[in-house]
Each structure stands twice: as structure tokens, then as C-alpha cells.
Structure 1
Amino acid sequence: MNLVLSTDAKPRLKWTPELHQRFAEAVDQLGGADKATPKSLMRVMGIPGLTLYHLKSHLQKYRLGKSQESEFCTENKEEDYREIQAVEGHFSGEISDATDTQNNESLQIAQALQLQMEVQRKLHEQIEVQRHLQLRIEAQGKYLQTVLQKAQETLSGYNSSSLGVELAKAELSQLVSMVNTGCPSPSISELTEAGGFSLKAVERKQMRGTICSVESSLTSSESSGRKEEKRPMKQSGDPQKSNRRSLELSLDIYPEGKPRSTDASNQANRRKRSGIAISDGVISSPNLRIRANHVPKEKRSNLDCSGKRLPYMTSDVNEVSGKSFDFIVVGGGTAGCSLAATLSERFSVLLVERGGSPYGNPLVLDKKYYGLSLILTDEYTSVAQSFISKDGIMNHRGRVLGGSSAINFGFYSRASDAFIEKVGWDKGLVREAYEWVESRVVFKPELTLWQIVAEFGLLEAGILPYNGFSFEHIEGTKVGATVFDERGTRHTSADLLEAGSPENMTVLLKATVKSVIFQNENRNETTACGIRFIESNGSPDHTHEAYLNQCKCSSSWGDVILSAGALGSPQILLLSGIGPHEHLRDFNIPLVLDLEGVGQGMRDNPAIALLVDDKPQNRLPDTPQVVGIADDFKIIVEAGIVPVSLNATRMTIAAKVAFPASKGKLALNSTDPRENPSVQFNYLAKEKDLEECVKMSQLLQRVARSQSIAMFLGTEHRNNLMSSEDELRKSCRKNVRTFYHYHGGCAVGSVVDKDHRVYGVQGLRVVDGSTLLESPGTNPMATLLMLGRYQGIRILKERTDAGAFGTGQIP
């Protein structure tokens, strides 16, 4: 092949179609444009006169053309073909080196402009992130400044010339100066970083001052005996709450001195004791966490660093072992905390919780991590304990102070008036108990974008009328309350403990109750007189005991009250020898009382969820705030964005059957109380439930097809929407899930009476969701929070009428 040169003064090579064809074949032979080099092309083509200069220039343009071709091609094959031909044609004509250079420069300019636009977009996003981060840092800095100044003022009131106080004053002055000049400590900077989730705790760099200890050393006369006034429900814009929640640090308080005695002979010591401690060396506050091991116990007040009046907390079983109390509440869950707080107003109370403290745990407190506690579970230590029912459905139960109120979706709504009337509760007292809860841990939410979309979708699907924001369980679409405040901080039932009398309450953490202790002196009357418990992370054979005061006296007025939840309470009764005789015999458990109803009548609300988006995405989770109540209260519809992994979420709409007829049962798996019992709910076993599920699925599909939600609905899910009743029946059986609202096992009428006393046993009650014959219809958290307060008030009145006076201090 002869080369064709131009007739210019400086001849240039003309790339004829034949020459370009040879070039393209050589490139393909060498494995493509990316692998071919000018030297290898010259060797393969073997054309005399063809130089490396010619090949280098042409190869560069060929690669560029291929790159443009792959970047801008579409799915239309014909368009692809035309684009490729156009690119190929670019090389097939007679193109001079000068023209090629000009085209090359144009393409490079276009690429540079595109790159510049992308860089500008990313810079804009980073500036927005930095702006929000700066606002958070400034807010936290202001809060820290007020804390430091308050601590400085408090220290100035001490006339002590001790070296420790002088050093504390100097270091506090230095910290105040750092904050005032805009130099926050590394600990604060780390805590205010935006972006992804880390399972590692933020590095706890010690602030060498004594801020928390000094602030906590306010005299007990300023805090003790001060009754909390009744407050209205906290609004999202509550400035007091805003100030209190703006900083999160960690506080380590180390044990010192002898363990506090709790028996009647040491009441004087107990009166001197005020404040909070955890004897294994750690107490967590939601806001601050600073070393204060040098502060004498008698100097500690009833206030933690966030201003909460919390009871004495310990995870050292030896501090409680062998001691006596007026009441023992087993389970610091949704109902247990409000119950213990109420009883502590007049009596000494031991509250035993198998999990740890929620304070300082972002998986519990931080809304942006909500739902991750259901993913990050283990056998004995995680805040949520997972289990798979015999129906094959994954479920969870709380294992932390606050119980399931610490791991749920946070939606708050009262039970209907019809439910209250059906169970026979005093309506006036119920309302009073609800208001007591709402004034402390309940907030009015600001709707997120997805919740606004869901709200319109529910209305467009015909779930009417629109009721706006309401506590009440009323038919139609409404906005419910939440336990997340305006800063996205969760308030669990554990926060209700500050409403009680801290001097009368002891909270034992990380201790699992193995059984109730009974005495039966006259053989006709079995009486509960204490509990047997183990360390949650210890040996099941190494047991400890705690007792009721005057348990040997026939006029005993103390109670052991089980509040361990729908799984925990029937499990403890069975382990204590109360339940079906044959089942207890299988585990060699001595029979105390043959009570067939224990573990029976277990129910869970069947639920169906529809995924809206086509795939998981990296977005923040969104708790349900809007609810649709339809079909004469029988169907509840909610929407949320739930995590499916540590860094991905899915948009969902879900519904549950409010009043299932199908029932199952609970049985022991082991005599180790830390292991989950075996439970079967028999979802959709009754035809009535299956029919309700079909109606519920049809309603869900109407919501999904609504104009508001349809625009978010992925193509795959839109195509999967069904229409025939037969398809929906099959789908219900296949896809039924839990709403985590299981109940029963110690139902009123079969295991306990209307006052929640266990039949056939003195001094033993059950107060939690296990006593419910049916669900309150809506999410049960509000009703269980209320139930603890409601029953606590009734017990106090009962004891007052009987003339009983406890060993606790009366505020």
C-alpha cells in the first residue's frame, strides 16, 4: 500500500479509508485501543513510510473517539450504530493534522467544562454540609460554654484551699477561654463530625476538669424534696429541652467506698445517699460523661449532669443481694419504669433490668440510628434480643432499661375509648395517667417529606377524614405523637424514673431474674417473698436473692411485680413453678401452682409491608408519624424509611390487622432465663384473620397507586401489584410479618385478676402487655406506659386504704 501525502509545502499524511481500515484491524489484533501502542501498530501494519509520529497522533484520536462513543451511547441499538459510524467516519476522511488538532482541542474543552461543572456541584454539596456542621458546632459550643461557666461559678463558692480545687478552677478557666475563642476540644469536634455510621465509640478524651462533679455537688437541699409540677406535653420548639440536649459527651464515675446497704436497719445511710452511681464503674448520661471518681458519695446530688433526677443505679449484684424492699419490680421496660417511679413516691422499690443503661448509647437515643439496634443483635448483650418464632418469623424484644420503648419506631397514640371501656379501666384515671406520661416523654413531630407524601397517599386512598395531630385513636388519617424530641433524641420509659423518688428506688442493671421465691407456711396460701437472680453475663448457677420487707409476716403488704413483657413474664412464672403441670415436669421444675393459662393466648398482629423503592439507598431512616385507621379500626397503615443494613434504607408502607383472632402459645426452651422461650403466634390461622389480611393488602395497594406515592413507586414493585383475591390470599400467607406488638401469656381472667394479681398466690402481680387479651388497636407503647402509672396509682391507693406505710422516704 502506497501512502498519500498532501501537496502542501510541508506534506502531511492523508488517512484514506483503506489505510484507516488497516489501522483498525491492527488495533483489534492487538486487543483494542487501550492495549495498542504506536510501535506495535507500526510493526503489525508493516507499511513503508509510516512513522511513529503518524501512528501516535492517529491512535490518540482513535482512542478519544472510542471514549466518546461509549460515553454518549444510548440503549437504542440503531442510534448506537449511527454514532459508531459517525465516529468511524471521523477517521475515514481526509483529515489533516491541523483539523484533527482543532477537533481534539474542542473535545478537550468540552470535557474540561463538564469536569468543572461536576467539581462545582460537589463543592456546593460540601459547603452545605460544612455550613450545617458549623451551625451544630456553634450550638454545642454555646451549650458547653454555659456548662463551664456554671461550673466555674459553683467552684468559686468553695473556699477550700486544697490543691484539687485550685487546679480545677485553673483548668475550668482555661476551658472557658478555649470555648470563648472558638477552639473546641478534640472530643467535641469528633462528636460533631457529619457522615456515616461507626460502630466504634467516639474516642473518649478526658477533659481534665471537674465540671460534672462540681455541677453535681450542688447541695441536696436544693434538689431533694422538690416535687415536679405537672407540665404540658413538650413541644418541638421547647427551648429548655433544646438547651439540655445540645451536647453529648461521656461520663465515667468510678465506685468508691462501701456498697450502699438497702435493708431497714440502714435507713439513715440511705437518707444520706443521694445522686447516681453504677458500681461497676460507669454511669451514662445522655449529655455528659466526665471522670469524677474523686467526688465523695455524700457530695453527689440527685441531679445527673443533664439535670435529670435519677435513682441509684448499679450493675453490681452484691449491692442488692440479701437486701429487702417494699416492692420488687422485675423488668425495667415500657410499663415497668412508670410503675416503679409511681410506687417509689411512698415505698422503697427495687427495679431489676436484664439489660444496661440506654444513656450514652446512640443506637437507642439518636434518631438517625433508629432501627440499627434490630440489626446489631447478639446472644446476651445487645439492646435488642432477636428471636424467630415457630412460625418462622424474625422478631425482637428489648433488653435495655426502657425495654421496647428504647428500640421501637417511637410512635405514640392512646388506645380508643372503646378499648378502655372493654377492659374495664377507670377512664378518668386512665386519662390522668396518659397525661402524666405525655408531660415527660412525648412530643409533637414536624413531618418529614416522606411522611407528608404518605399523608396525602392515605387520604387519596380514601382513609378519611383527616384528623390532623391527635393523641386519640380515631378513624381516618392523623398525625400521631412521638418520643423523639426536636433534636432527634429518643425519650424512653427510663426517663420516667426521674419523676419518682430517687431516694426510694434502686435500679439493678444487667441482672436477669431466674425465679420468684415463695413461702407456704400454712400450706393453704402461697406467698411471694422475693426473687432469685443471676448476672446477665454470668453463670446461670451462681444465683443471688432479694426479698420483700416483712415477707415472713402474714400481714405483708409488699409485692413482687413482673413487668418483663409478653415473653419475659410468662417465662418467669414457668421457671418459678407456676404454669401447666405437665410442661413444668418436662423441665424438672417443682410445681408451685398448676395454672394452665400461663403461656397461653399468645397473639401478634399480622402485618404486610410493601417496598416502594426499587433498591436500598443511602438515606436517613424515617420513623412513622402519620397513620391511617380504616375499616372500623380493624386496619392500621403506616409509612417509614427503615434500615436494611448499616448504610442503606428502604421506603415502605405497611399495615397490620388490629384485632387478630388467631392465638398461639409460649413454652420454655431451657431453664436458663437468658434464653428466649419458644413461642408460636399462628399468624392467619383463623379464616377471619386471612380475610382481614386480604382487605388490608387491597388497601395497601390503593395507597401505593395513589398519585402521591405512585411517583415514588419503583417499576418492579408497580408491576408486582396484584388484583385477584386468590393472589392476595397466597401473598398474605407467604409475606406475613410482625409489627412487634405481640401480647398475651398472662391474660387477665386466666392468669391474673382485674387488679393484676396472679390467681392463687399472694404478693405476686403481672403488669405489662402479657396481661392484654387483645391489642389496643394502635401501637401499644402509649398504653403500656400509661398502664404502669395507672396500676401504680391503684396500688398506692390500695395500700393507703389498708393503712400500710413503707420503709421508703415520703417526699
Structure 2
Amino acid sequence: MAQPDRTFDYVIVGAGSAGCVLAARLTEDPGVSVALVEAGPPDTAQEIHIPVALASLFKSRWDWDYDSEPEPALDGRRNYVPRGRTLGGSSSMNVMIYTRGNRVDYDDWAAGGAEGWSYDEVLPYFRRAEDNQRGADHYHGVGGPLTVSDGRSLNPLGEAFLEAAEQAGHRRNADFNGDSQLGVGRFQLTQRNGLRWSTADAYLRPSLDRPNLTVITEALAHRVLFEGDRAVGVEISQGSALQKLRADREVVLSAGTYGTPHLLLRSGVGPAPALTPFQIAVLHELPVGQQLQDHPFLTLNYLTDEESLMTALSPANLALLQNEHRGPLTSNIGEAGGFMMTQPGLAAPDLQFYQSPALFYQEALGPLIAHGFAIGPCVIKPTSRGSLTLRTAAPDTAPRIQHNFLTTEEDQQTMLAGVRIALDIAGRPALKSVTTGPFTVPESSSDADLLAYIRRTTQTLYHPTSTCAIGSVVDSKLRVLGLQGLRVVDASVMPSVPRGNTNAATIMIAEKAADLIREKAN
């Protein structure tokens, strides 16, 4: 059943980490009308807002619940790929770690042709977004929508990890977003008063009373509508009702690294060989969905007699959260970690480490059956490349996701070095003194056993990027090459994945995009 067309200045598809930012910034102009379209429901679930409950969102109605194709370097396993499907998108179900990547990442973007995206040029947008509880300095801002705070759980197992890392020769670092990324410490988090602070909380909710903003939830985008080479709107469905949302100025795709290329491909924008098998007419040929990058990650798990997050959901801890805004329920799971180099002479770290004061196994789907902790490396400058392609032409069918994790010798050797560093840290006195035994670890320290463990346990760290990258699919102002009235604003435009968690960088991209759209930038 068709509904009447509706017309706006801008139609934004995806109310996630980027879409919420963009909708809030564009509607600061009362003369501009914006429709923000989200496939998922509102972010009303209590589990979204209590940080430690984030794993309970996996495979729920707030999760796209994707699976990868069989991964050739991971024993042919399919990786579970969670993505947020609600207001706030994946910022409503991530681990809330606020890291921006390395200066080198952005300078490399600019050197590769992404004009205006060097570190010095994007730093003001990081600062504009931020309200850092530590105050303002050269690197950090205050007064922005995004509250960035120190963790309020501070499980002692995290301190044991940090002491063990120091014993292994790694220095402490109080700020991974400052003048140096190297070292170990506790992560800053996108939390306010001990609760999750998603982009829906930070940007969208304060804007909902604006008469020029229309938020449409539980609405699936079918295709971008074109007249010639100009995008003029989006076709959506709510239940069985179809509707066309017209855009007088621009259609902006903020559906994420998987969702945006999936929508473009269904709309006839992409490589012809990827479209013709599905009888999709090729409107415009671009390498949409190619060059997928993500951070491969694994953990080693150990048992302990110390208190872990296994018992976090207690009445006493609930009272601690409600009355003092702290305690185990505020834990983001990955409380501590750091950045390291596997060899001297690198331009920047190639490993990020995470420590969790709880068991973290079976792609975070394993039950907490005992007190334990997890530590593990993540390859943060992978050379492997994947792709996203269609499974069918139907909008409600999941895409094919092929990460190709660890398919290069370089990535395998980096992960192998990372596992050896993890074993070294786990064997130091500060951690060994709180360890009662192994839970999931390699069978031995031989290369063969370590590589077998790597193939058996490597998973995504939920940081996909680059499927609509600047220079190949969009220009430096995020306009889709060769088309009019169509822009992409999300992590898919990153020319390469940054060395760190990608949420902060995605928010920065949306902040800068708002200026690009409003033509405030050079």
C-alpha cells in the first residue's frame, strides 16, 4: 500500500553515529527541513543505557545480526557481525571507548588525495564534538554534545593488567588521544554519569522538539530515487506501506559501512558485475562495497578468584549505579588496554590491546560461567581487504560480507606477535598472582599452536570502514562521484581504517560533513 510522497530539504538514511550528528547540526538552521530515517526501533531498551549490559543487545531486535561469509584464513568460519539497529546505531551498542586513531592515519588520508582531512584539519571537529570531563587543551574540547569521561568501574583486574604490562616494559599512557598513542592505560568513554552517551543521547534527543526535524523509525530504505543522474529521494517501507521521501537539496546516506553500500548497490550504483546477476540496471558504475577494512581481534581468557563482572548484575551494584553513578554496572567491558608496536621503526602502533574483567570468548556470545578476565591483541593497520556484495536484490536480505581477515602474511605475523605479547603480559607477576588457571588459551607457545589458536578464535572488533571511500566512491566533500544531490556521511568514506576505535572518527566525519553541506568549510 503506497503512502503520499513527503518532501524535505534533506533526507538522511540511518540514525546512527553519523546520522544523528548530521540531523542535529543541519536543523540548527530553522529554514532547513530534515527527515532522518532509521530502520530500527527507538532506543528505549534499558540494556542500551546500562553499559555492562551491552552484550545482551547482541542478536536482539536492536541488532542487524549479520554473519560474514566463510573466512578463508579463519578455518572457513563465519564471523558474527553485530551492528546497531536503533537510534544511535552502533553507538547504542558499542563498548563506548573513545579513541580517535593516530595523527598518521589522517595525514595519510590527506596525502592520498583526501583534501581537507589531515590531522590538523580534522582536530577542530574532534574538539567541537567533545565535552571532556578532564577539561580543554590542545587536543580536547569542552562544551560539545559528546560527553567523554573516565570510567567509573575501575575493576582491580584492570590495574593488575596495567601493572603486568609495565612489568613487560610498556609505559603508562593517561591519554591515547594526546601527543602520543603508545602505552597502556584506561580508556576514556562516551558515558555521562556512568551511563552510555550515544549520538542519540548527545545530538538527536536535544533536537527532537525542532519543527524542522522529522524522525522516522522502523522504516527500511529500499532504494535511492534518481531523475537522470540526480538523487531526488528515497523509497522506504514501514510494515507493508511504501512511501517516497523527496529531497529538494540532497540525499545523505549514513547507513554505515555495510548499510550504505548495500543501499547504493540496490539502487544501481556499483560495479556492473555485482549488479547484473540480480537484474539491477546499472545507473552509475563505481567500486561500491570494495576495499572493506576492519580490525581483526582475539582474546586469551584466564580464570581468577578475584571479583569479575560475572556478578555485576546485583541489587547492591544497581543501587551503586542509581545513587552514586559508578560501580560494575558502568563497566564498558573493555576497561583497559593500550597501543603497541610489534617492531621498531614503525610510523605508528600496529597493535591495540584490550583487557576485560570478565571472560570474553565465542565472539562475546559465550556465557559468564566463572570469574575470569580476558586480554587480547587487535591488528589496527591491516593489509587484508574484503568486500560487501548483494545476496539478493531484496532490501530485507542481509548482504554478503567478506572480511578476508588475516589473508596477508603481514597481518598474520602482526597477530602472531600480538599473541606473544599477550602471553608475556599474562605471565608477569601482577597478573599471574590473580590467575588460577587458563580458560581459553593456545595449547603451547609454538608458532603452529599459536597460529591454530588465531585461526580458531579471531573475530571482528566491530570497526568496518572504507566501502565507499574518499577518492574511489566519494570526493573530499563526500559527494558521490559522477552523481548529483547524493552524499555519503559515515565510516564507509574513510580511505583506510584508523588505528583505534572508529566511533569518535565517525562522529568527527559527521561534524565536518555538516560544514561541508552548509558550505562553511573551504
Which TM-score band (shorter chain)?
0.7 to 0.9
Equivalent residue runs for 1:300-339 within 5 Å: 321-339=4-22
Match runs of 1:638-657 below 5 Å: 638-640=354-356, 641=358, 642=360, 644=365, 648=369, 651-657=373-379
Q: Which residue of 2 aligns with 1:533?
A: 236
Change (3 A) 1:749 1:695: same
Which runs of no fewer than 5 residues in structure 2 stay unpaired? Answer: 72-77, 111-116, 132-144, 313-327, 342-347
What is the aligned counterpart of 2:91 among 405, 419, 440? 405
Residue 477 of structure 1 is matched in structure 2 by 184
> Which amino acid letter does the alignment assign opposite residue 388 of structure 1?
D
Instruction: Report the AA paired with residue 454 of structure 1.
Output: F
- Aligned partner of 2:274 in structure 1 is 583
Query: Comparing both structures, which one devotes a greater share of its residues to strand?
Result: 2
Normalised by the length of structure 2, the TM-score is 0.82
Amino acid at match of 2:34: V
- What CA distance in whole angstroms lies between the structure 2 residues aligned with 1:507 and 1:696? 44
2:174 counterpart SS class: strand
Deviations 1:691-743 (A, max 9, x none): 11111111111121122222333424498563222332232222211111122
CA contact 2:304–2:434 (8 Å) conserved in 1: no
User: What's the counterpart of residue 155 of structure 2?
Assistant: 448
Distance in 2 (alpha carbons) for counterparts of 1:450 and 1:325: 52
Q: 1:672 to 1:713 in 2, by over 3 A?
A: farther
Distance across 2 between alignment mates of 1:741 and 1:470: 18
Q: Which residue of 1 aligns with 2:54?
A: 370
2:268 maps to a residue whose letter is G
1:746 aligns with 2:461: no
Q: Distance in 2 between matches of 1:611 and 1:647?
A: 11
| Other structure's SS at 1:797 match | coil
Which has the larger helix fraction? 1
My pick for the range that moved more, 613-622 or 363-372, is 613-622
CA contact (8 A) 1:333 1:493 kept: yes
Match of 1:274 in 2: none
- Does the aligned pair in 1 maintain the 2:37–2:217 contact within 8 Å? yes
Other-structure match for 1:783: 505
C-alpha offsets along residues 402-425 of structure 1, whole Å, 9 cap, x if unaligned? 011111111111222222222221
In 2 relative to 1, CA 478–586 (structure 1 residues): closer, same or farther, beyond 3 Å? Answer: same
Which of residues 350, 363, 373 is equivalent to 1:634? 350
- What amino acid sits opposite 1:600 in the alignment? Q
**Higher normalized contact order (CA 8 Å, seq sep 6+, divided by chain length):** 2
**Which consecutive segments of 4 or more residues in structure 1 shift more than 6 A?**
614-617
Output the CA distance in 2 between the equivalents of 1:625 and 1:608.
16
Question: Does the CA-based 8 Å contact 1:515-1:532 persist in structure 2?
Answer: yes
- Answer yes or no: is the 8 Å Cα contact 1:463–1:629 preserved in 2: no
Residues 138-171 of structure 1: per-residue CA shift (max 9 Å, x gap): xxxxxxxxxxxxxxxxxxxxxxxxxxxxxxxxxx
How much does 1:365 deviate?
Answer: 0.5
Deviations 1:8-32 (A, max 9, x none): xxxxxxxxxxxxxxxxxxxxxxxxx
Partner of 1:544: 243
State the AA in 2 paired with 1:335.
Answer: A
For 2:173, the equivalent position in structure 1 comes to: 467
Q: Secondary structure at the match of 1:561?
A: strand
Counterpart CA distance in 1 for 2:494 and 2:428 is: 36
Q: Which secondary structure state, in structure 2, belongs to the residue aligned with residue 435 of structure 1?
A: helix
Residue 770 (structure 1) aligned to one of 492, 496, 517 = 492
Query: Which residue in the other structure is 2:292 paired with?
Result: 602
Q: Percent same amino acid at aligned positions? A: 27
Structure 2 partner of 1:723: 445
After superposition, what is the alpha-carbon deviation per residue over 1:345-371, rounded to whole angstroms, capped at 9, x for unaligned?
A: 22211111111111x311100124221
SS at match of 1:455: helix
Q: Does the alignment pair 1:619 with 2:311? A: yes
Say whether the 8 Å CA contact 2:39–2:220 is kept in structure 1: yes
1:736 aligns with 2:463: no
Structure 1 CA distance for aligned equivalents of residues 26 and 267 of structure 2: 24
Assess if the C-alpha contact under 8 Å between 1:638 and 1:655 holds in 2: yes
Amino acid corresponding to residue 160 of structure 2 in structure 1: V
In 2: Cα distance, 1:498 partner to 1:429 partner: 28
Cα distance, 1:657 vs structure 2: 0.2
C-alpha separation between the residues in 1 aligned to 2:277 and 2:365?
40
Partner of 2:164: 457
Asked if 2 retains the 8 angstrom alpha-carbon contact of 1:463 and 1:628, the reply is no
1:656 aligned counterpart, secondary structure: strand
Amino acid at match of 2:495: L
What do residues 56-111 of structure 1 show as CA deviations (whole Å, max 9, x unaligned)? xxxxxxxxxxxxxxxxxxxxxxxxxxxxxxxxxxxxxxxxxxxxxxxxxxxxxxxx
Give distance in 2, aligned partners of 1:765 and 1:750.
Answer: 13
Q: Whole-Å Cα distance in 2 between the matches of residues 357 and 449 of structure 1?
A: 35
8 A contact 2:164–2:425 mirrored in 1: yes
Tell me if 1:517 matches 2:208.
no
Moved more, 714-723 or 758-767: 714-723
Q: How does 1:430-441 map to 2 (within 5 A)?
A: 430-439=122-131, 440=145, 441=147
Aligned to 2:423: 701
The within-5 A match list for 1:664-679 is: 664-679=386-401
SS in 1 for 2:223: strand
List aligned pairs for 1:96-495, cutoff 5 A. 321-346=4-29, 347-358=32-43, 360-374=44-58, 376-377=59-60, 382-390=61-69, 391=71, 392-424=78-110, 425=117, 427=119, 430-439=122-131, 440=145, 441-446=147-152, 447-464=154-171, 466-472=172-178, 474-486=181-193, 488-495=194-201
Q: Structure 1 residues 455 and 795, CA, compared in 2 at 3 Å: closer, same or farther? A: same
1:502 aligns to 2:210 (yes or no):
yes
**1:388–1:394 Cα contact (<8 Å) kept:** yes
Give the superposition deviation at 1:607. Answer: 1.0
Name the stretch that deviates more: 733-742 or 709-718: 709-718
* Aligned counterparts of 2:217 and 2:409: Cα–Cα separation in 1: 44
- Residue identity in the other structure for 1:371: A
Code of the residue aligned with 2:100 in structure 1: it is R
1:612 aligned partner, one-letter code: Y
SS of alignment partner, residue 507 of structure 1: strand
Q: Is the 8 A contact 1:334 1:784 kept in 2?
A: yes
Q: Deviations over 1:287-324 (max 9, x none)?
A: xxxxxxxxxxxxxxxxxxxxxxxxxxxxxx96xx5121
Amino acid at match of 2:265: L
SS in 2 for 1:546: strand
Shift of 1:450: 2.5
Contact 2:442–2:450 (8 Å) recurs in 1: no
CA separation in 1, counterparts of 2:218 and 2:369?
31
Structure 1 residue 471, shift from structure 2 partner: 3.3
Deviation of residue 400 (structure 1)? 0.5
Query: Tell me, what secondary structure is at the counterpart of 1:637?
Result: strand
Give the C-alpha shift of residue 766 in structure 1: 0.9
Alpha-carbon contact 2:176-2:182 (below 8 Å) kept: no
5+ long unaligned stretches in structure 1: 1-316, 521-525, 550-557, 802-811
Q: Which one-letter code corresponds to 1:357 in the other structure?
A: P
Give the paired residue count. 457
Residues 99 and 501 in structure 2, CA contact (< 8 A), matched pair in contact too: yes
**Structure 1 contact 325–548 (Cα < 8 Å) conserved:** yes
Displacement of 1:770 in angstroms is 1.1
Q: Give 2:54's aligned amino acid.
A: Y
